[in-house]
Amino acid sequence: MRVPLINRSHTSPVPPTIYDVAERANVSTATVSRVFNNQTRVANATRERVLKVADALGYSPHISAQNLALQKTSLLAAVVPFETDFFYAQVMRGMQDALFDSDFDLTIYLAPEKRETKGQLERALQPGRADGVVLLSAELSDAQAEMVRASGQPLVLVDTHHSFFDSISVDNDEGAYDAVQRLLAHGYQRIAHITVAPEAPAPARNRRLGYEQALREAGQPVDPELVVYSTSYPFGFMEEAGYEAMQHLLALPELPDAVFACSDVQALGALQALRDHGLRAPDDVAIVGFDDIHTSRHVGLSTLRQPMREMGKLAVQKLLQRIAQPARTPSKTVFAPEYIARSTCGTAASSEATAAAIAL
Amino acid sequence: MRVPLINRSHTSPVPPTIYDVAERANVSTATVSRVFNNQTRVANATRERVLKVADALGYSPHISAQNLALQKTSLLAAVVPFETDFFYAQVMRGMQDALFDSDFDLTIYLAPEKRETKGQLERALQPGRADGVVLLSAELSDAQAEMVRASGQPLVLVDTHHSFFDSISVDNDEGAYDAVQRLLAHGYQRIAHITVAPEAPAPARNRRLGYEQALREAGQPVDPELVVYSTSYPFGFMEEAGYEAMQHLLALPELPDAVFACSDVQALGALQALRDHGLRAPDDVAIVGFDDIHTSRHVGLSTLRQPMREMGKLAVQKLLQRIAQPARTPSKTVFAPEYIARSTCGTAASSEATAAAIAL
DNA sequence: TTGAAAGCGCTAACAG
DNA sequence: CTGTTAGCGCTTTCAA
């Protein structure tokens, strides 16, 4: 039964310090410290006495003080763009997976505005804030990269690249190219693309490029009418954006027969627009997304799977490696997206896709 | 152009300290400190000189040192059970929403095992780790509650209650009761319940109690055969668990005509089992879930909506209030779950439900 | 095996 | 308006 040292009502108790323990145990703070860390070099009797006092007092080392003395934080920072995106949720789960094997915890630095990852990055880089940072979906200018390097903080990029740092991403061009090529091979003639803004971040941009390349290689010029950018939601992947874009396509004099959406989220919105017009996928218009979020499987959406969780896990593993060995040469990991043919693309005969098609 | 003070290759640069700045600017560290915080009481010329030097050096205050001196961390801790649950993802989004208006960042303490929130809670409570903690879905024993109180850390509970602390939850009994009552009113006779373990955490338990109460009030004894606990996945809400449970129900001599699942995730698994047996909802068996996760809307799953994001947001707001005023009397907020009738319950005629039913 | 003392980087009275 | 000084709580040489 421990008696709080101070407990005036409405005064939150003040935790005991190493001095309190040292005093009550008749030893110096150095000894207490040794007991709690440096397990060796303490007489058994002393150790037990210290431990007993510490327990009675409810002592626990003050982390900020430890951090300062040890020049570390045991914290990793994740700088995440502001978007209700399933991608980030999954990547973060993966990061947590990898964290289990370490003594680090994760602090989230969520960008306050659409694209303002920059401020949060600077914050995360401040000395004494974290021991390393994972930066998601943010392209680094050379100036920024130099700033990061100057800060001395280990950093890993997810979804983008820079020669200074470890990076982990998926081959967006290739995935998009693959999907469109399959649609072409299956005989679709007018394949539209739903994307975000032309100046969108790399992943979306590269998916568009993959789409364009597949068309060109098939001898089809890119029809600007069939590439619909989102004006209302220029950056994030939003269902509403997909919905609007699909409405736009449905208003065209000649309908597309297939749509490759930049993300599953947008594809879901497109699907909804289709339904609201009394149309269905793939019978009237085929639809393919990108990401393979949880919902996609349940609605039978064909898509390109991105190993989000693995990417997050690997990001943290790379970061931990770099903290341990700052001088390693940066690595670049690129995962290949996997085409998942379900019911909405009309090119599948897999049982999964059939089951989904029967769904409701 | 700043010249790194130290830059032996393979030695990460050491960030400059307040002493470096003070020295180069010919002032004391106190003045530098004033420039960076206490905006007032510094001559303009001095301020500018300091700022110039700081900029040239790339100085940024060391956060751990600040934390120690100021006795704060500007960090909030979220202690989260280990589960791939959409509930937590949404709640955390809400927490982030509220964080925007503050100077705090969020650190995640994810439990390493199924129910081992306890260790992470202790960790989060350590002095100097965070300025407050949000504890998700973990019931606090009186001993634990006392421990928390003794730590002096402000704490807010989400999904559970304790008289010592602010808490935020949803009325699980009431929601379940409501759903089952509606199913009964619509004429369903054999209503099954898919849940987790009998000794599961409060939310799942209370949903079962609500189910039982609705039946009893309708003069139906609870048929143990129709309440299926998950043995393989006793705690988390998993699709596999829902799948297994539904298979069990489908093997019964007499089928249930409706199923109330403990969570949407399990309901999705049940839906899948149904499909795999060539059956459909609601024609063969009606299904209602709980939570209203993102996927539910897209597959037309009827469910009880929990305002997850709002709950997270409120949790942080409450925590910030408590940090500011530790002596406030604890509040208890209980949201009412909202019944969302989509296609799988067979009781809806809303256009949303119809659209979803046509879906694929 | 233990203690004294310096230091981690910053802040905040208190003087001046 | 600015400098001196004493912490914040812990770790870690260096001696004893």
How would you write the pLDDT of chain B (360 residues) with one tens digit per residue? Answer: 223 333 333 456 789 999 999 999 999 999 999 999 977 789 999 999 999 999 999 999 999 999 999 999 999 999 998 776 788 889 998 999 999 889 999 999 988 776 678 899 999 999 999 999 999 999 999 999 999 999 999 999 999 999 999 999 999 999 999 999 999 999 999 999 999 988 888 899 999 999 999 999 999 999 999 999 998 887 778 999 999 999 999 999 999 999 999 999 999 999 999 999 999 989 999 999 999 999 999 999 999 999 999 999 999 999 999 999 999 999 999 999 999 999 999 876 544 444 443 332
Give the closest residue to A306 by CA, choosing from A272, A265, A343.
A265
- From residue A128, give the alpha-carbon distance in Å to each of A68, A111, B51: 8, 20, 20
Torsion of Cα atoms, A212 then A213 then A218 then A223, to 10°: 20
By C-alpha distance, the chain A residue nearest B343 is: A360
- The CATH number that applies at residue B51 is 1.10.260.40
Name the pairing type of β-strands A132-136 and A105-110. Answer: unpaired
- Supply the pLDDT for residue B357: 38
pLDDT digits (tens, 9 = 90+) for A249-298: 999 999 999 999 999 999 999 999 999 999 998 999 999 999 999 999 99
- Residue pLDDT, tens place only, A79-91: 998 776 788 889 9
**Burial classification of residue B43, based on how many CB atoms lie within 10 Å of its CB (0-12 exposed, 13-18 middle, 19 or more buried):** exposed
Q: Does the predicted TM-score (pTM) go above 0.85?
A: yes
Instruction: Looking at the complex, report in whole angstroms how far the Cα of residue B128 sits from the nearest Cα belonging to chain A.
Output: 5
pLDDT over 70 (residue A357): no
Residues 6+ apart with CB under 8 A from A213: A173, A177
**H or E, element range at A187:** none
Residue A2 pLDDT greater than 50, yes or no: no
Per-window interface: A 13-52 vs B, CB < 8 A? 13-15
Measured CA to C1', the nucleotide nearest A38 is D11
What pLDDT, on a 0 to 100 scale, did the predictor assign at position A41?
A: 81
Query: Does the structure show a pLDDT above 80 at A343?
Result: yes
Chain A to chain B Cβ contacts (< 8 Å): 162
Sequence-ordered alpha helix ranges (H) in chain B: 18-25, 29-36, 44-57, 63-70, 86-99, 117-125, 142-151, 172-185, 202-217, 239-250, 264-276, 294-299, 308-324, 351-358
User: Could you tell me if B178 and B256 lie in one domain?
Assistant: yes
A63–B contact, CB cutoff 8 A: yes
With CA atoms as reference, report the closest residue to A263 among A172, A191, A157.
A172
For the stretch A157-181, pLDDT in tens is: 999 999 999 999 999 999 999 999 9
Query: Cβ of A215: how many Cβ atoms within 10 Å?
Result: 22
Highest mean pLDDT (candidates A12-26, A55-69, B220-234)? A55-69
Q: How far apart are alpha carbons B308 and A249 in whole angstroms?
A: 34
Alpha helices in chain A (DSSP H): 18-25, 29-36, 44-57, 63-70, 86-99, 117-125, 142-151, 172-185, 202-217, 239-250, 264-276, 294-299, 308-324, 351-358
Q: What is the pLDDT of residue A353?
A: 41
Shared-domain flag, residues A221 and A351: yes
A119 interfacial to chain B (CB closer than 8 Å)? no
What's the pLDDT at A11?
Answer: 56
By C-alpha distance, which of B278, B258, B269, B259 is closest to B299?
A: B269
**Cβ density class A222-259: b for 16+ within 10 Å, e for less:** eeeebbbbbeebbbbbbbebbbbbbbbbbeeeeebbbb
pLDDT category, A354, cuts 50, 70, 90? very low
Q: How many CA atoms lie within 13 A of A240 on its CB side?
A: 7
Would you say the C-beta of B66 is within 7 Å of strand D? no
CB contact (8 A) between residue B64 and residue A68: yes
pLDDT computed for residue A142 by the predictor? 95
Q: Give chain A's radius of gyration (CA, Å).
A: 27
Answer yes or no: do A10 and B99 touch at CB < 8 A. Answer: no
Among residues B45, B70, B95, the one where a domain terminates is B70
Instruction: For residue B3, give both structure tokens.
Output: 């010249």
Single-letter residue type at A193: H
Closest residue to C4 measured CA to C1′: A28
Among the partner-chain residues B60, B68, B355, the one whose CB lies closest to the CB of A127 is B60
B177 and B296 in a single domain? The answer is yes
pLDDT at residue B150 in the model: 92
B69 touches strand D (CB under 7 A): yes
**Minimal-distance CA residue of chain A relative to B150:** A13
**What phi and psi values does residue B193 have, to the nearest 5 degrees?**
-135, 130
Which of A300-309, A332-341, B84-93, B140-149 shows the lowest per-residue confidence on average (mean pLDDT)? B84-93
Look at B144 and A354; give whichever has higher pLDDT. Answer: B144
Provide the domain limits for residue B292. 172-306+339-359
Domain stop point among A25, A41, A70? A70
Question: B 215-274 residues with CB below 8 A of A?
Answer: 268, 272
Of A64, A105, A127, which is closest to B128 when you measure between CB atoms?
A64
Chain-centre distance of CA B263, in angstroms?
15
Task: Give the number of domains in chain B.
Answer: 3
How far in angstroms lies nucleotide C10's C1' from the CA of residue A64?
A: 12
Q: Residue A328: closest CA among chain B residues belongs to which residue?
A: B10
Helix count and strand count (H, E) for chain A:
14, 12
Residues B215 and B127 in one domain: no
The structure tokens 């804030």 sit at A129
- Do residues B182 and B326 both lie within one domain? no
**pLDDT given at position A198:** 86
pLDDT score recorded for residue B112: 73
- Is the CB of B105 less than 8 angstroms away from the CB of A109? yes
Q: Give CA–CA dist A199/A184, Å, rounded.
A: 27
The whole-number pLDDT of residue A202 equals 86
Q: What is the pLDDT of residue A348?
A: 66
CB atoms within 10 A of CB A78: 28
A9, pLDDT greater than 60: no
Asked if the Cβ of residue A62 lies within 7 A of any atom of strand D, the reply is yes
Query: Other CB atoms closer than 10 Å to residue B256's CB: what's the count?
Result: 23
Chain A residues touching residue B128 (CB < 8 angstroms)? 61-67
Residues A62 and A94 in one domain: no
How far is the C-alpha of A264 from the C-alpha of A354, rounded, in Å?
19
Give residues 264 to 283 of A whose Cβ lies within 8 Å of B. Answer: 268, 271-272, 275-276, 280-281
- Quick one: pLDDT at residue B349? 56
B89 and B209 share a domain?
no
Q: Do A107 and B106 touch (CB under 8 A)?
A: yes
| pLDDT per residue as tens digits for the range A171-210 | 999 999 999 999 999 999 999 999 998 888 889 999 999 9
Domain with residue B118: its CATH number is 3.40.50.2300
| Residues B179 and B104 placed together within one structural domain of the fold | no
Q: Over the stretch A225-234, which tens digit does the pLDDT of each residue have?
A: 999 999 888 7
Q: How far is B83 from chain A (nearest CA, A)?
A: 10
Of the candidates A48, A70, A92, which is a domain's last residue?
A: A70
Chain-chain contact of B152 with A12 (C-beta, under 8 angstroms) = yes
Answer yes or no: do B313 and B299 share one domain. Answer: no
CB neighbourhood size of A336 (10 A):
14
A residues 304-323 lying closer than 8 A (beta carbon) to B: none
pLDDT the model gives residue B277 = 96
Residue B270 to residues B211, B238, B354, Cα–Cα distance (Å): 18, 10, 21
Q: Which nucleotides of C are covered by protein (CB under 7 A)?
A: 1-5, 7-13
Two tokens, residue A39 = 């397990």
Does the beta-carbon distance from B298 to A295 stay under 8 Å? yes
In B, minimum Cα distance to A271 occurs at: B359
Q: Does B324 touch chain A (CB under 8 A)?
A: no
Nucleotides of D under 7 A from a protein CB: 1-5, 7-13
**DSSP labels for A270-281?**
HHHHHHHTT--T
The predicted structure's pLDDT at residue B354 = 41
- Residue B126, CB, strand C, below 7 Å: no
Categorize the per-residue pLDDT at A35 as very low, low, confident or very high, splitting at 50, 70 and 90.
very high
Closest CA relative to residue A320, chosen from A147, A137, A74: A74
How far is the C-alpha of B155 from the C-alpha of B259, rounded, in Å? 37
Q: How far apart are CA B190 and CA B200, in angstroms?
A: 24
| Cβ distance of A75 and B107 shorter than 8 Å | yes
Residue A250 neighbours by CB under 8 Å, 6+ apart: A273, A274, A277, A279
| Distance separating alpha carbons of residues A81 and A120, to the nearest angstrom | 9
Q: Do B182 and B222 share a domain, yes or no?
A: yes
- Are A109 and A129 in the same domain? yes
How far does A38 lie from chain B, in Å, by closest CA?
Answer: 20
Is the peptide bond prior to A154 cis by the omega test (within 30 degrees of 0)? no
For A151, the closest of B15, B129, B268 (CB atoms) is B15
Q: Tell me the helices (H) and strands (E) count for chain B, helix number first.
A: 14, 12
> Does residue B192 share a domain with residue B124?
no
Which of B4, B109, B128 lies closest to A63 in CB terms?
A: B128
* Cβ-Cβ contacts under 8 Å, B109 against chain A: 105
Calculate the average pLDDT of chain B. 90
How many CB atoms sit inside 10 A of residue A176's CB? Answer: 29
